[in-house]
Amino acid sequence: MRGLWPAVWVWVLGAGLVGCRESRVTLPPPRPVPPNVQLLYPVDEVYGQYTYPDAQLVGEGVVLTVEGRAYGWDRIEVLVDGRVVAVTRPGENVLGPMDLSRRIMEDYVNFRVDVRDFGTPGRKVLVLRAWNGDLSRDSPFEVVHDDLALDRKARAFANLYWQGWCVPPGSPPPSGPPAARPGSFRMVDRTIYFINRDYPELQADVLIAKWTGLRFIPVRDSAPFPFIDLVKNPGGGPRGGPTNTVGFAILSGRIWIPDRLIEYPRWIRVGNLVHEIFHALGLTGGNEGAFSCGHPKDGSRMDISGPRYLWFHGYQQRAAHLVYSHPPGTIF
């Protein structure tokens, strides 16, 4: 057992002795070693397949959640331009094991640390520094602090996925009533009531508020517009979307959660809630039907073919701020 160094008993048999005598040797404690760190986001050093270049694009208002696992650490810092801008310790900001399909060594502890300060603009190297007492090990990774590029990417994302009607780039807009044309599809207000009678411990709304700047007010019963209602769904999979709309404005949404989902680890339950709440907020047209451009294939939490982690890239966060700072029906 690590940290416990019991004495080693050595039994010495003497020739011709009726019994035996014992001597006791005390082993010295091991020398401390620096932590071992593996990043998973925004660059993947764990599995080697989940690095998405656009995930490294950051700017003002973005929350970059650096994620990974480490062995033998008591705190982790993130440094930007030589300054410590974020700190986490074991047990903070963690939802559980990152991947059920791969056995994570029990000595590794997952970490998630939020970075909001990226210093001066430009391409730069951030340093994740893991500490074990007075010993440390650095894991550098690159980000691009470029607000203009972030804004261009966010506008393209909003125009393609945060729409009441999907019009792929280069396609002519459809004719018909206002609801059958492009325009941002969003809740009527930035303050949204979140009716959650059964699963208040999941707090998926807290994550979304961090990424989007929206304000969620948790309640257990009825609420005025706009609201999102979380209800049990005995059969089928989790799903969510708007339930009451006027043109491009969403008055209410609903999330259906199957009972079997509650048996999964917390990070999976929260991840499913995050995905469906974004549908209720208008992302991907609130559904996967005729009005939707489908799910993005970018490794984010909205990517149903991706790694299914709790990632919401910087340009998606900027898109959320953009959509919810303009009236419903806006084209960016």
CATH of the domain at 171: 3.40.390
- 283 touches 302 (CB < 8 A): yes
d(Cα 158, Cα 153) in Å, to the nearest integer?
9
**Residue written as tokens 């033998």?**
72
Domain membership flag for residue 291: yes
- Residue 62, domain CATH: 2.60.40.10
Structure tokens at 182: 């492009």
Specify whether 162 is located in the same domain as 284. yes
Can you give the pTM of this predicted structure? Answer: 0.84
Same domain, yes or no: 88 and 160: no
Are 127 and 218 in the same domain? no
Picking from 261, 259, 255, 231, the residue whose alpha carbon sits closest to that of residue 243 is 255
Q: Give the mean model confidence (pLDDT) for residues 301-307.
A: 83
Q: pLDDT-based confidence at 49, cuts 50/70/90?
A: confident
In this structure, is residue 294 part of a structural domain? yes
CA distance 277 to 208: 8
Kindly state whether residues 110 and 158 are assigned to the same domain. no
pLDDT of 197-217, one tens digit each?
A: 888 777 888 889 999 999 999
> Do 153 and 113 belong together in one domain?
no
| Residue 279 domain-assigned (yes or no) | yes
Mean pLDDT (whole number) for 54-64: 95
Asked whether residue 111 falls in the same domain as residue 166, the answer is no
Q: Which residues pair with 39 in a beta bridge?
A: 68
How many domains are contained in the chain?
A: 2
Domain stops at, among 94, 122, 145: 145
Please check whether residues 83 and 166 belong to one and the same domain.
no
Stretch 54-69: mean pLDDT, rounded? 94
Left, alpha or beta for 43 (phi > 0: left; psi -120 to 50: alpha)? Answer: beta
Helix (H) or strand (E) holding 235: none
Least confident of 30-44, 66-80, 171-185, 242-256: 171-185
Range of the domain at 182: 147-323
Mean pLDDT, the chain, as a whole number? 83
**Per residue in 234-284, pLDDT tens?**
777 788 889 999 988 999 999 998 888 777 877 788 888 999 999 999 998
End-of-domain residue from the set 90, 110, 145: 145
245 is a domain residue: yes
Percent of the chain, pLDDT > 90?
Answer: 48
Tokens of 131: 């500490």
100 and 74 assigned to the same domain: yes
Q: Tell me: do 80 and 177 sit in the same domain.
A: no
Distance CA 213, CA 10 (A): 65
Domain end: 88, 120, 145, which one? 145
- Please report whether residue 120 resides in a domain: yes
Strand partners of residue 83: 80
